Amino acid sequence: MNATTTQPHSASPSSTFATAPPMIKLTDIEKVYQTKTIETVALNRVNLSINKGEFVSVMGPSGCGKSTLLSIIGLLDEPTGGLLELDGRPVKSYSDKELAHLRNQKIGFVFQSYHLINDLSVLDNVELPLLYRAGVGGKERRQRAHAALDKVGLSARTTHFPSQLSGGQRQRVAIARALAGRPEIILADEPTGNLDSVMGEEIMDLLLTLNREEGTTIVMVTHDEHQALKTERLIRFFDGSQVQ
């Protein structure tokens, strides 16, 4: 259950920090959804370590617990049992405020359905994570948002609204939003799932570049084996358990 397969794609910066504690460590993580009549095990004693700078992909059929795993790593959901550690520090009994602070400082999210706010311009959407960061003024927010959009090649679209963009452009905005906060970890939930193959390649290249050039740790859930094989390590899930 705990075996993992690593597919080396390139020289990983993580090897430099082999002695350092893993960036993300899950020990016996369980997640059970309970209703009045039924109990559903979403994650069953998952053990996983992801080092700083690694690009890991998670694959598995629908409903196998991939997104739940990402939610738990992203501090959006609490495990029913087990221990999650970030940077060697256990994330347990944190207050809502502390969890929000951790999410804001450490983690960037990219979702399959982009999750852009349609009533905000591209620039305003990218600024969002910085809005919740103390000590970042309006001018700095703008500068960082512009820089992030520049990185994803959308600096000419700052005043556009999400509805005026293509799917690929929207996903690039979502990636720029994740980048604006300069997170150590990016959690991507099927980032190419809603895109055609050309757009999907573009987004994948962007994530790979980020991982290679900036050393950002990326955990990506995907259904696309072709994309998954480009990452350093592939983890397979089935029925809430890690199978490979």
Q: How far apart are CA 196 and CA 148, in angstroms?
A: 23
Nearest Cα to 107, choosing from 191, 23, 205?
A: 23
Binding mask 51-80 for another protein (x = CB under 8 A): ----------------xx--x--x-xx---
Rounded least distance, CB 172 to another protein, Å: 17
Q: Which stretch binds another protein (CB under 8 A): 85-93, 130-138, 152-160, 223-231?
A: 130-138
Residue 194 in the binding site for another protein (CB under 8 A): no
* Element (DSSP H or E) covering residue 212: helix 197-214
Q: Which of 22, 46, 109, 145 binds another protein (CB under 8 A)?
A: 109
Cβ–Cβ under 8 Å, residues 180 and 126: yes
132 binds another protein (CB under 8 A): yes
Nearer to another protein, 109 or 233 (CB): 109
Question: Which region, left, alpha or beta, applies to residue 156 given φ > 0 means left and ψ of -120 to 50 means alpha?
Answer: alpha
The angle formed by the CA atoms of residues 67, 69 and 75, to the nearest 5 degrees, is 100
Residues in region 140-179 near another protein by CB under 8 A: 177
Of these, 1, 11, 20, 117, which contacts another protein (CB under 8 A)? 117
Three-state DSSP string of 53-120: CCEEEEECCCCCCHHHHHHHHCCCCCCCEEEEEECCEECCCCCHHHHHHHHHHHEEEEECCCCCCCCC
Please work out the total of residues on this chain that contact another protein, with binding judged by CB under 8 A: 31
**Residue 128, interface with another protein (CB under 8 A)?**
yes
Task: Give which of 113, 118, 179 is closest to 146, Cα–Cα.
Answer: 179
Is residue 200 close enough to count as binding another protein by CB under 8 A? no
105 near another protein, judged by CB under 8 A:
yes
Residue 93 found at the interface with another protein (CB under 8 A):
no
CB of 20 to another protein, least distance (A): 25
Contact call for residue 101 and another protein (CB under 8 A): yes
CB 225 within 8 A of CB 59: yes
Of 53-61, 129-137, 195-203, 217-225: span binding another protein (CB under 8 A) = 129-137
Whole-number Å distance between alpha carbons of 240 and 42: 5
Q: Residues in the site for another protein, rule: CB under 8 A?
A: 67-68, 71, 74, 76-77, 96-97, 100-101, 103-105, 107, 109, 111, 113, 115, 117, 119-121, 124, 128-129, 131-133, 138, 177, 181
